[in-house]
Amino acid sequence: MADTKAAEMKVKVVTEPSLMTGAVPTHDWWDVEAIFKPGNYCYPAKKSIAEYHGKNLPGLFGEPRDWDIESDDWALPENWKEIIINGIKERLDKFRSLKIFMDCCVRCGACADKCHFFLGTGDPKNMPVLRAELFRSVYRNDFTTAGKILGQIAGARPMTFKVLKEWFMYFYQCTECRRCSVFCPYGIDTAEVTMMGRELLHLVGVNTNWILEPAANSNRTGNHLGLQPHTFKENAEFLLDDIEEATGVKLNNLTFNRKGAEVLFIIPSADVFADPGIFTFMGYIMLFEHIGLDYTISTYSSEGGNFGLFTNNQLMKKLNGKMYAEAKRLGVKWILGGECGHMWRVVHQYMNTMNGPADFLEIPKSPITGTVFENAAATRMVHISEFTADLIHQGKLKIDKNRNDNRIVTFHDSCNTSRGMGLLEEPRYIINSVCNNFYEMPENTIREKTFCCGSGTGLNTGEIMDLRMRAGLPRANAVKYVAERHGVNMLANVCAIDRATLLALNQYWNPEVQVCGISELVGNALIMEGEKERETDLRGEPLPGMEG
Amino acid sequence: MRVLKAFIAVVALVLVALVVAQVPGGQSLLGIVLPYLAFAIFLGGFIYKVVYWAKSPVPFRIPTTCGQENSLPFIKQNKLDCPTTKGQVVGRMLLEVLLFRSLFRNTRASIHDGPTLAYGSNKWLWLFALLFHYSFLVIILRHMRLFTDPIAGFVPMLEFADGFLEVGATTIYQSSFILLAAVTFLFLRRVVRPYLRYISLPADYFPLLLIFGIGLSGILMRHVFRVDIVSVKELTMGLVTFSPSIEGQIGAIFFVHIFLVCVLLAYFPFSKLMHLGGVFMSPTRNMANNSRMVRHENPWNDPNIKPHSYASYEDEFRQFMVDADLPVEKQPEPATAEPEAEEAAPTEEPKA
């Protein structure tokens, strides 16, 4: 893979001729071919992985095979065009959103410079409007009167291999972040278009391994990482030692698959696996110890995230189904969810519809404060930030804010929790309650206008590192702004993918800024019962005043 | 090239109208037959399209939330940008439809050395889009003078408000000129801004040029080539009372005007102009963000899609689970149980 050094990239993004830097494309967009070369595409799924999904959900993942993206023979089924066109028809009948978004765009261009992929690459087809036109042109050709009669004048074109290649390239240069949808006068959501596009690509077996393999793992072992039950448990328990080292307190509240617990707690699995998610995990369980919450973690449903969301609605449903199935089996009262972005898109906007009703659960009620979470009355799953903000507001936590004084914090709103849920103030309330130094990034880059980390929807794979660093540039640039002005050295967030991808992004663009989950900051500030004099934070770094 | 195609199309339409208006029976065709036909196509096509959209369900509740959700009592919900009730959704939709709320957010991004990305305020599109739509609306309402007898009460009031400038005996209506100015702006930005030129199709230039032609022919008819307004009114009243006839000499410019209007009406349902109907039906805007409060039903939800069962999970990992002191439903037996239908995923090393 061809990774460009940051210094070189810094110059390239400003000087390279692109629509962002002022160069005007010389060819009409439909005459520009998608050319795959190492570094600009994700590797296709291994045959065995495609087979696995095909067996579980027949017909949805095409013909398993080995194929080469750079070749002009993708070993597609003979009737692949028919499969795609029939697939479009089926989806038009199933999703009103698709019909509306195909018919209503006026190409006003308001979305054009809102996409992080466009801002970082200047590639015209990364303007949301053109990304959707890749799909719309085919829709017009086969499903509209004007397109059938007028053809290209009406912006119609038939489905060809060339179009398929464009679809694969640009539906995997979209992270379904929905930022364009905020600015669109009709709310046209490119995420919907990309989702449909990816569903269709899967029908003819065009896929990426970095999405399908974690999804297969999640189905079988319970989590994307493929951690088997005993390994998952060991990983989590290992972190108890780290907590003890930092605080002197040995927690014994960590249980797995325990029936009769009040709350089932589901996290993105990366939180027990990789730095810096593990510090977030420590924060979660320290909080639960602090308040004496009766909770358990499941190894069977050990993944909050859902890579099915990045494939098709059926696999999303199948993977998500474990949450309710396990809550029912364990007989818990309600579910609490950790810090994860796309997990919350699925939980908030899809779960109850797909796998509900959750009538075997109770309406979530905090056993510590008595607060009833009416906003989760049907789905019966509460976000850890909602839960924690309530605890803080009711004065149930003993907090020493000064312990986070070495952190000058800014907050990155995850796309999914901000634009697919509206979780904006809860994390900020928590940060302000446990930290003394908090600075917002510029207004156009936060809350509902937040920029994607650049690697969501299963794009956080090493083989497209350059693309990821470009797509993440708008986010990194806003971080840089507060780093330079206020000395920000910690980028907090509520998303496991962010914790992985922003780390890489900052190492590239802003090496001085670290990344953390909100609950890590909570864990640092919590005054635990029986704790020793705290000298280090959860990372083992000296607390302010303890550097000597 | 794309703009040229649209331009040629509109010029051709004007010429067609001018020629047909001279042909015997041509005026009846342009003034009577085509208006009925165009209106029927417009109405039928519009309804057909809305019904076509409505036939597809909205399987998931997918509002784009643009503000704080309704969660804890001490955190203030943004009721208009993140509505949870029907009333709040109506509020959000009113802002969207009447004031173009989303377009108001528009910014313009630029990249500079550093690299540094900057986002400047950019409200021109919002402003001219508003001017365009409202002046168009005012003009349509003013035209009700031609279709009501006695004239509907709001028309003179509207005309008074719209026409404070008087030139000679003819009132100048600002809305006509604002419409032309706004259309010109919307057209020029498509031609001048490189990325807009790049995304624009003939179908984007055509309606703008067509509407420009309608506006211009209207102004010419009013201020330059005066037409016989009495005959026009007789014709238009005849159209609404289904007894149309063309008396006297109306003037060719009128037939250009009415022909272009007919083309616009007939073109409407097959084009992007249907955003007029679509804006009301967009699921990211017209749904409440209450999916965790109230269950949303998906009519095609497939109950046969079930998660990989706990039983098969435990069957695969039972021994490991027992060894790791994890509770199990069934104790391991000496003979291994039959694995379930679903196959195990190929074992792969986990990756970070």
Q: Hey, what are B192's tokens?
A: 């001048």
**A499 Ramachandran zone, left/alpha/beta (phi>0; psi -120 to 50):** alpha
pLDDT grade, residue B72 (50/70/90)?
Answer: very high
CB A99 within 8 A of CB A196: no
Q: Enumerate the residues of chain A whose CB falls inside 8 A of the CB of residue B56.
A: 92-96, 98-99
* Rounded CA separation B51/A310 (Å): 30
Q: Is B306 on the interface with A (CB under 8 A)?
A: yes
Q: What is the ipTM of this complex?
A: 0.94
Partner residue facing B100 (CB), from A185, A222, A418: A185
Question: Does A367 lie at the interface with B, CB-CB under 8 angstroms?
Answer: no
Mutation for testing the B interface, residue in A56, A127, A148, A353 having most B CBs under 10 Å: A353
Cross-chain residue pair A220–B317, CB shorter than 8 Å: no
Which residues are B111's β-sheet partners? B117
Backbone φ and ψ for B171, nearest 5 degrees, come out as: -70, 140
CB-based contacts of B168: which residues, under 8 Å, 6+ apart?
A: none
CATH number at residue B137: 1.20.950.20
Angstrom distance (rounded) from CA A519 to CA A138 = 46
Residue A150 CB partners (closer than 8 Å, separation 6+): A156
Q: Which of residues 219-278 of B touch A (CB under 8 A)?
A: 270-272, 274-275, 278
A274 touching B (Cβ < 8 Å): yes
Helices (H), A367-517: 384-393, 415-419, 425-434, 465-471, 473-486, 496-509
Q: Is A399 helix (H, G, I), strand (E, B) or coil?
A: strand
- Beta-carbon neighbour count of residue B118 at 10 Å? 14
In a domain, B349, yes or no: no
For B23, counting Cβ atoms within 10 Å of its Cβ (0-12 exposed, 13-18 middle, 19+ buried), the class is exposed
Residue (of A414, A181, A458, A177) closest to A312 by Cα position: A458
Q: What are phi and psi of B208, to 5 degrees?
A: -65, -45
DSSP letter string, A106-143: ----TTGGG-HHHHHH--GGGSHHHHHHHHHHHHHHHH
Contact A94 B58 (CB under 8 A): no
Record: contact B57-A354, CB cut-off 8 A = no
Q: Given CB atoms, is A4 within the 8 Å cutoff of chain B?
A: no
User: Which of residues 446 through 465 in chain A touch B, CB cutoff 8 A?
Assistant: 447-449
Question: One digit per residue, pLDDT tens: chain A, 548 residues?
Answer: 457 899 999 999 999 999 999 898 999 999 999 999 999 999 999 999 999 999 999 999 999 999 999 999 999 999 999 999 999 999 999 999 999 999 999 999 999 999 999 999 999 999 999 999 999 999 999 999 999 998 888 899 999 999 999 999 999 999 999 999 999 999 999 999 999 999 999 999 999 999 999 999 999 999 999 999 999 999 999 999 999 999 999 999 999 999 999 999 999 999 999 999 999 999 999 999 999 999 999 999 999 999 999 999 999 999 999 999 999 999 999 999 999 999 999 999 999 999 999 999 999 999 999 999 999 999 999 999 999 999 999 999 999 999 999 999 999 999 999 999 999 999 999 999 999 999 999 999 999 999 999 999 999 999 999 999 999 999 999 999 999 999 999 999 999 999 999 999 999 999 999 999 999 999 999 999 999 999 999 999 999 888 87
Question: What is the pLDDT at residue B345?
Answer: 57
B196 in reach of chain A (CB within 8 A): yes
**Tally of domains within chain B:** 1
- What are phi and psi for residue A256, nearest 5 degrees? -125, 140
A107 interface with B at CB cutoff 8 Å:
yes
Domain interval for residue B274: 1-279
Q: Do the bridges between strand A514-517 and strand A490-493 make them parallel or antiparallel, or are there none, so unpaired?
A: parallel
Beta strands in chain B, from DSSP E residues, in sequence order: 107-112, 116-121, 165-167, 170-172
Report the residue of A98, A230, A443 to disrupt the B interface, i.e. the one with the largest count of B CBs within 10 Å.
A230
Find the DSSP H helices in B193-290.
194-199, 202-223, 229-240, 252-267, 275-281
Q: Could you write out the DSSP letters of every residue in A26-51?
A: SS-GGGSPP---TTSSPPPPPHHHHH
A419 in reach of chain B (CB within 8 A)? yes
Per the DSSP assignment, residues forming a β-bridge with B110 are B118
Contact A364, A289 (CB under 8 A): no
B43 in contact with A, Cβ within 8 Å: no
- Residue pLDDT, tens place only, A168-226: 999 999 999 999 999 999 999 999 999 999 999 999 999 999 999 999 999 999 999 99
Q: How far apart are CA A315 and CA A326, in angstroms?
A: 18
